Structure 1
Amino acid sequence: MVNHSELISKLVSKDTTHVQLSTPQLVTASLRRGEGALTDTGALRAETGKYTGRSPKDRFIVEDNISDHKIDWGTVNQPISEEVFDNLFEKVVDYLNSKEETFVFKGYAGADEKTRLDLQVVNEFSWHNLFVQNLFIRPDTKEEALNIDPKFTIVSAPNFKADPETDGTNSEAFVIISLKKGIILIGGTEYAGEMKKSIFSIMNYLLPEQGVMSMHCSANVGENKDVALFFGLSGTGKTTLSADPHRDLIGDDEHGWNDEGVFNIEGGCYAKTIDLSAEKEPEIHGAIRFGAVLENVTLDEEGTPDYEDKSLTENTRAAYPLHHIDNARIPSVAGHPKTIIFLTADAFGVLPPISRLDRDQAMYHFLSGFTSKLAGTERGVTEPQPVFSSCFGSPFLPLEATVYAKMLGRLIEKHDVNVYLVNTGWTGGGYGVGRRMELKHTRTMIRRAISGELELGEFEKDEIFGLNIPNTITGVPDELLMPKNTWLDEDGYDERANKLKELFKENFENFGGESKEIAEKGGFQ
């Protein structure tokens, strides 16, 4: 029988394992090992090879007596046997033990000390260890780190490739979560985001069991303690829109909501950098300095990043600690939200740039999670594809989606939260015909919503979707607010809008009986 704890302990304690190295030490190790290069601002740049995004078809959860009756099994949460996991685990540990060096980080997930997860990450790559040091919450001292008794351990061996025929995987790559053993096993892929999202999946399992809402969202807070949440999939603008110089950043991607308010699950940011500029996104641009990690961004001869270059992938990324953002809130906790923003990148070009949702509509759109899957975020995606992702994060939800939707509905009602649906996608036509919403207009609309200004104005109900659209917003052209007015072909708009409406209805047929009431109250008639 495999003794997983003993094998990990031996791996962590061997003489060639480096535990809790500092940022300069990890950068030095990465350069010495030929894993990356420094940019002109001092950030470490690395490539992830074949895998430049998540590989959802290679992600599994071990089916055992702990997970069997709790997990929402299906194409997202694929089951795999304990035997397959154990065999691969032993192979990966043997592989890492044969390496000249391995790297270990100990830290936390969750800024709320009552519910935080003590974790450990064992890495084959030193730059991966710098990545997790940036993304997870760092102990204040090395002594504190060494005393952590991890409840979950990530074991990551990117250069170990599985053999599907003998190892029981779908490909050479694998991400396997064992809830029973507290282990996440990753191999065959160098994409660092798999580590971040695996821990998020764990928190989406643990927090609801403690009565805490877990959320795929960014969060910020103003000087009046007006907390705002931004839900949305990768590429919809969570990181960009939450990095507001006029507000403190709580976090850019993963949060919990408990009886005291919201808290960040992470200790850093993982920002998309395609077309990044100091003019449009100065906070993110300035955060990419020594200690930050750039993924798959090309450099010129002098080490200057070319953020417009998509030759490796559109999913170019930067991972940096929260303190690289001047106005980051540390510790990353705040009170209850006053405003919730649902972000969608509508490739049809028919949803309004901003609309107000009542509680029932909010639950419907949260459970729907409509957006467009943007190029580069997953393997094989080269142009926007309409997609429904429950709770704006179905790839990371181990429990049934209605669990999270009902929790959110109760919290919206209890704390009287204003909810808005914001389209950061296309206007004036769909993808290939229309144009992307201008960031300056989206920022203005969101700021007006958070300030409460929109609630003082008048709204007009959209005939097709039943959404309440503001008649006017200071600083935004009136003709932009009603999407049909931006189309030259009004009949074409009606056709595309009704097509999307039917897709919403079809998507809801995938849910169980508990969703019927949500659809009847908040959906499209």
Structure 2
Amino acid sequence: MKKIIAGNIHYNLAESKLVEKALERKEGQLASTGALQVFTGTYTGRSPKDKYVVTDPSVTEQIDWGSLNQPISEFQFEQLYRKAQQYMVEKELFIFDGFAGADPEYRLPIRVVNEYAWHNLFASQLFIRPTDKELMAHSPEFTVIALPGLKADPVTDGTRSETFICLSFEKKMILIGGTEYAGEMKKAIFSVLNYLLPLRGVLPMHCSANVGKKGDSALFFGLSGTGKTTLSADPNRRLIGDDEHGWSNQGIFNFEGGCYAKCMGLSEEKEPQIWRAIRYGSILENVVLDPQTAIADYNDIRISENTRAAYPIHYIADAMIPGMADHPKVILFLTADAFGVLPPISKLTKEQAMYHFLSGYTSKLAGTERGITDPEATFSTCFGAPFLPLHPNVYAQLLGEKVEEHQAKVYMVNTGWSGGPYGVGKRINLTYTRTIVTAILDGSIEQQTFTADPIFGVLCPESLPGVPSNVLIPRNTWQDKSAYEVKATELAGLFIKNFEKFSGISDDILLAGPRKTT
């Protein structure tokens, strides 16, 4: 990387100094707990349509080009980089040097350059902080330059808008401009690891992970709203990480040094670990504070539903530090099925695991013209489609190989609806879901007798202590059995249609999906 020229550079400041700087520069204010509250302006979430990958000759053949990996030329990248250099002249900058990846064998030395102090605080909390000795020898292999005030000109820069997230694997650099949303930095490095690690036989994963007292680790995959954070935060198990991990030949490891938790509806009763982590050194993003008391109102979503808290993982009591553990014994795919037809618990074969990993299914709720809310299927490949530079088959194949080699048990847990679709049925009782997850983690689920679902093909337990038997078989919870058949067939068809976008999939994986019905 070329030398950054700026008028005033702050290098690896302590969190207290970064908080002081942020307050001095009026970037935010302190909440009653001591957390730094900030607003991210126009963008309160990621901008996937403004993400680009440079068409470097060394990676062109490997990238899965498309709407999620949009090409941008080397010339355009250089033009934006020159703009960034000019913009940084005489700017006050904040630099963080650290790592992505808890395992020393696979960690990526990174540098993050910011014009906002709070962005640099975010980087120092979410990535892994080096020791003094490590810092002295630190040599960044990838650099992130995040400049919210630098905006692109779509006419001359070839971008879609003024916002850009441009990744060059050849120059080992990420340029971010036109957005104040801090999560872009975190996910950009995740995208880098999703390219680099499979080349070394490591499966990068968008999942949370925890470990039991006997060293038995578990992975929790799931899109937004499926309960991934809630279910992986177990008082009887240690948190490894809440979002990004790698699975190597030695075991699993956290990519990050912190957590980036959603705050909408947060309460001490439901999520005590997150609640207690929001203190001095943490960041509250787009959370509204009471103007008199500075107390956070987590139910106020006037700014955004995507309110967030960023904090170092050591703010979670008894977190696993460093974030490394043995190969997982169990893997959970979480889905919130608003169609009300998927079983609350099902066991998957290796081929079914690969099928549902590629599918990455959950459902979201969308309003109709008459104001009635109907379920809408959402599929995100490998539970993290926006962050996958390589072809999906690469990740699915790695998952299958590791599941087989280490004899990991894979289950799908539906945290969505039962007894009918959204608006008719009810959300599956959280107590039942926790009972199911506990049975998976302690292995007692394997003592049950399983029966194959006639439409989805997955194996469902006929009984489970603590969960009513009729709940375990979705069809039995519906009053109108024919309506269940229609809805289940509809969802099966959506799975099959979604899978049409994949090429080169083996027959054994294709046959592991839902049954084709008329």
Counterpart-to-counterpart distance in 1, 2:81 and 2:27: 25
Counterpart-to-counterpart distance in 2, 1:178 and 1:355: 41
- Equivalent residue in structure 2 for 1:285, among 250, 259, 275: 275
Match of residue 173 from structure 1 = 163
- Equivalent residue in structure 2 for 1:188, among 178, 186, 200: 178
Match of residue 379 from structure 1 = none
Residue pair 2:457, 2:512 contacting (<8 A) in 1 also: no
Q: Is residue 10 of structure 1 aligned with residue 21 of structure 2?
A: no
Residue 522 of structure 1 and its aligned partner are, at CA, apart by: 4.8
Counterpart-to-counterpart distance in 1, 2:318 and 2:425: 35
CA pair 87-297 structure 1, distance change in 2 beyond 3 A: same
User: Taking every aligned residue pair, what percent have the same amino acid on both sides?
Assistant: 56
Match of residue 140 from structure 2 = 150
TM alignment of 1:322-333, pairs within 5 A: 322-333=313-324
TM alignment of 1:88-487, pairs within 5 A: 88-99=80-91, 101-141=92-132, 144-300=134-290, 301-372=292-363, 385-487=376-478
Moved more, 476-485 or 453-462: 476-485
Secondary structure in structure 2 of the residue aligned to 1:50:
coil
CA pair 171-61 structure 1, distance change in 2 beyond 3 A: same
Amino acid at match of 2:197: L
Counterpart-to-counterpart distance in 1, 2:188 and 2:490: 35
Residue 125 of structure 1 and its aligned partner are, at CA, apart by: 1.0
Secondary structure in structure 2 of the residue aligned to 1:10:
coil
Secondary structure in structure 1 of the residue aligned to 2:456:
coil
1:344-380 CA distances to partner (integer Å, 9 max, x unpaired)? 12232221221111111111111111113589xxxxx
Residue pair 1:161, 1:173 contacting (<8 A) in 2 also: yes
Counterpart-to-counterpart distance in 2, 1:87 and 1:220: 44
Counterpart-to-counterpart distance in 2, 1:26 and 1:384: 44
Residue pair 1:362, 1:522 contacting (<8 A) in 2 also: no
Amino acid at match of 2:398: M
Residue 306 of structure 1 and its aligned partner are, at CA, apart by: 1.0
CA pair 60-326 structure 1, distance change in 2 beyond 3 A: same
Counterpart-to-counterpart distance in 2, 1:251 and 1:121: 21
Match of residue 369 from structure 2 = none
Consecutive unaligned residues of structure 2, counting only runs of 5 or more, are 367-372
Counterpart-to-counterpart distance in 1, 2:304 and 2:82: 33
CA pair 152-214 structure 1, distance change in 2 beyond 3 A: same
Over aligned residue pairs, what C-alpha RMSD do you find?
A: 1.8
Residue pair 1:215, 1:254 contacting (<8 A) in 2 also: yes
Residue pair 1:60, 1:177 contacting (<8 A) in 2 also: yes
After TM superposition, the score normalised by the length of structure 1 is: 0.93
1:41-64 CA distances to partner (integer Å, 9 max, x unpaired)? 111111111111111110010001
- Equivalent residue in structure 1 for 2:71, among 55, 60, 79: 79
Counterpart-to-counterpart distance in 1, 2:515 and 2:374: 28
Counterpart-to-counterpart distance in 2, 1:431 and 1:89: 48
1:135-166 CA distances to partner (integer Å, 9 max, x unpaired)? 1111022x532531111100001122222112
Q: How many pairs align?
A: 509
Secondary structure in structure 1 of the residue aligned to 2:432:
helix
1:30-78 CA distances to partner (integer Å, 9 max, x unpaired)? 1111111111111111111111111111001000111211101111111
Residue pair 1:106, 1:146 contacting (<8 A) in 2 also: no
Counterpart-to-counterpart distance in 1, 2:358 and 2:397: 9
Counterpart-to-counterpart distance in 1, 2:155 and 2:426: 46
Counterpart-to-counterpart distance in 1, 2:435 and 2:483: 29
Counterpart-to-counterpart distance in 1, 2:425 and 2:180: 36
- Equivalent residue in structure 1 for 2:34, among 22, 29, 42: 42
Counterpart-to-counterpart distance in 2, 1:416 and 1:131: 37
CA pair 36-147 structure 1, distance change in 2 beyond 3 A: same
1:191-215 CA distances to partner (integer Å, 9 max, x unpaired)? 1111111101100111110111111
Counterpart-to-counterpart distance in 2, 1:388 and 1:487: 25
After TM superposition, the score normalised by the length of structure 2 is: 0.95
Amino acid at match of 2:195: Y
